[in-house]
Structure 1
Amino acid sequence: MEKIPSDRCYKCNKDGASRANPGPSSYGFCVRDWKGDMVFAQWKKIEETTNAISEARVVMEGVRFCVTKKSLLVVIDTDSTLIRNILNGEWKAPWCIASLVDKIRVLMEDNNMTIQHVIKEGNKMADF
């Protein structure tokens, strides 16, 4: 079940996918305010790549959007255990996303953002 963000907190649901690994890939994310109102949504086809790369790319896009809008208190929801554990420093990033992960971490730390894992059903906004 999706957790409701606290007052004045924005939530970014995101999902990246690759049909095969590597294969045709895309990502999508949406940002909602603390009332649940949609602030922004984006979907994009990207080059043939892997799941890990598409998941990392969508986190970067969501984080960049929130930074440009000067959103305070952002929680990023992901159904990717890999990305959550890497960004929280629990796992080492594979070489193919290591530099991107470093950039994401800096932006997240500088802008009061956290990432949490949600089950697939809790991430329906990004999947839609």
Structure 2
Amino acid sequence: MLRRASTYKPRLYHCIVRWKASKEGMTKRNTDGASQGNPRSSAYGFCLRNSHGDLIYAVAENIGITTSVEAELRAILEAIKYCVAKKVEKLIVESDSLLMMKIIKEVWKVPWELADYFDELK
């Protein structure tokens, strides 16, 4: 078993991912959060584009020492706050965080350390 583990090489898979414009009249919101470690210096960003792919708004912010999960959540939360304040309707949400999307869709439970943020989302 040890010999097998020492020579193990994982298979690498790749696929090309391209941004796709939304349907006419829709706004697409893309979010991302990142951390240099867990926890370490972190930041988030989001952008809004119309159905032609034109940039409507974009922002990025350093949020100090936190985790990548919290940075992903902050990206989503700040984007929602912006969209509500600007009365953006007909919104498509995209995130590269499977964890956040599963929690938002209520497939997975909210980790206790993020519960306050999710209360704010509602």
TM exceeds 0.5? yes
User: TM-score, length-normalised on structure 1?
Assistant: 0.77
1:57 corresponds to which of 63, 74, 93: 74
Q: Is 1:85 the equivalent of 2:102?
A: yes
The 5-angstrom pairing of residues 67-78 of structure 1 reads 67-78=84-95
**Runs of 4+ more than 3 Å apart:** none
In structure 2, distance between residues paired with 1:68 and 1:96: 26
Q: Which runs of 5+ in 1 are unaligned?
A: 107-128
Q: Shift of the alpha carbon at 1:77? A: 0.7
Number of residue-to-residue matches in the alignment: 105
Equivalent residue, structure 2, for 1:23: 40
RMSD across aligned C-alpha pairs, in angstroms? 1.1
Matched residue type, 2:67? T
Equivalent residue, structure 2, for 1:121: none
Q: Shift of the alpha carbon at 1:93? A: 0.9
User: TM-score, length-normalised on structure 2?
Assistant: 0.81
Q: Shift of the alpha carbon at 1:101? A: 1.6
**Aligned partners of 1:8 and 1:72 also within 8 Å:** no
Matched residue type, 1:54? A
2:117 corresponds to which of 95, 100, 103: 100
Compare relative contact order (CA 8 Å, sep 6+) and give the higher one, 1 or 2: 1
